[in-house]
Structure 1
Amino acid sequence: MSVTPAEVLLRELGITSPAEIDLEAIAHHVGARVRYCPLNGCEAHILGRGGKAIITVKSGSSARRKRFSIAHELGHWRFHRGKTLVCRVDEYRPREAQSAEKVADGYAADLLMPRYLFEPLARQVGTFTFKTIGELAETFKTSVTATAIRLVELGHLQGFVVCHTPRGRKWFARARSIDRAWLPRDDLDPKSSAFGVQFGGRPDDTAPRKVSAATWLNRFDANRFDVREQTIRTARDETLSLVLVDEKAMLAAK
């Protein structure tokens, strides 16, 4: 796999550990100054002219949200300099369309969790749960959501990461090893632990539990297989679920 532009930059700066990823210093290196102000309607924006830019970040956001916002805007500075964009920074999530926001999100993921630092630590994780994902997120100062998606996209976590609101499925990420015919349901099955966390005030799951794959996936033969599910609340009206696939027969199913 080729080295990404963000990873090239980090290597040029001699960054050899997650603790050394100082986003304000990186921004300064590429001609951007970071400032923090109250913002309404967005998490961050960038204004640039020539080789200089100012990244404005919402001062009231969490430290990890600020880091993602800076990294996202640096993605725009790297790829979209001189173009007019309406940038709305959101939490890192899978995006289907190859949009400017997807490009900036990808750059942010590579900058915050570069493969040459992230993958060796991911390979040391014995079992993926929200606890172990949270520990990895703590190392890289990223959100649990962004870290879980990164694990799926890089092939370390075999399964799905699924986000729900009371209105239904908001988005999902699927491991590349799983056939695209496997799709998470739009709604939450009342038998799933996620239903209780989302609607019943149930506390976060402390560990994955085995359920029928049909609880989560709408493929015609899903009831032939089992998956493991774990759900946590990530916002007032949002839940995040791991749907882990262990059965080789399910991975081989087309």
Structure 2
Amino acid sequence: MQLKASTLPAGVSGEIRPDGAGGFVIKVNRHDSSRRQRFTIAHEIAHYLLHRDQIGMGISDDALYRSSLSDAREAEANRLAADLLMPANAVQVEVDNARQLQVEDIVAFVADKFEVSEAAMKIRLGLS
């Protein structure tokens, strides 16, 4: 599998496609923030792990991680991406730490710890 930072069409965060040599290539939008790119890469890897037989000619995910796959499959990819980047036990440790420190914005605090967007952390915490 290859990973490439690319200029993708407006509103597209990432895609996974066959590379023509029996493997796959993941492209991530080079114009997105590094935190968003990390989640996008994990999301596309999740498609590979969970939906490899359904990739066909490729899957492009928009900024809301929607594609031609069903909403259920996109939700599966989001959950696995969240699990890969933000393991539940480790997140709970940081949430507890934030509470102990009386942090006002727990989502932002924990997102910083895991170098992910606040939107991704909300997905991990089940707030989105």
Q: TM-score of the superposition, structure 1-length normalised? A: 0.41
Aligned counterpart in structure 1 of residue 89 of structure 2, from 106, 116, 120: 116
Aligned counterpart in structure 1 of residue 104 of structure 2, from 129, 134, 140: 129
Unaligned runs of 5+ in 1: 1-31, 154-160, 162-172, 174-254
Mark the structure with the bigger radius of gyration.
1
The count of corresponding residues between Structure 1 and Structure 2 is 118
Deviation at 1:87?
A: 3.3
SS of 2:77 mapped into structure 1: helix
Q: Deviations over 1:63-104 (max 9, x none)?
A: 011111101100100011121364324347xxxx76211111
- Counting aligned pairs with the same residue, the percent is 29
SS of 1:88 mapped into structure 2: strand
| Larger relative strand fraction | 1
Distance between the aligned counterparts of 1:68 and 1:38, measured in 2?
A: 17
Asked which structure has the greater RCO (Cα within 8 Å, sep 6+), the reply is 2
Cα distance change of structure 1 residues 149 and 104 upon mapping to structure 2, 3 Å threshold: closer
1:140 maps to 2:114: yes
Aligned counterpart in structure 2 of residue 103 of structure 1, from 69, 76, 82: 76
The 8 Å contact of residues 69 and 89 in structure 1, kept in 2 or not, is answered as no
Give, as a single letter, the amino acid of the residue that structure 2 aligns with 1:82: D
Cα distance change of structure 1 residues 34 and 86 upon mapping to structure 2, 3 Å threshold: closer
Unaligned runs of 5+ in 2: none
- Aligned residues: CA RMSD: 2.4
Distance between the aligned counterparts of 2:73 and 2:60, measured in 1?
A: 9
Deviation at 1:146?
A: 2.0
| Larger relative helix fraction | 2
Distance between the aligned counterparts of 2:84 and 2:49, measured in 1?
A: 12
Q: TM-score of the superposition, structure 2-length normalised? A: 0.77
Deviation at 1:51?
A: 6.5
The 8 Å contact of residues 7 and 29 in structure 2, kept in 1 or not, is answered as yes
The 8 Å contact of residues 36 and 57 in structure 1, kept in 2 or not, is answered as yes
In the alignment, which residue of structure 2 is the partner of 1:33?
Answer: 2
1:52 maps to 2:27: no
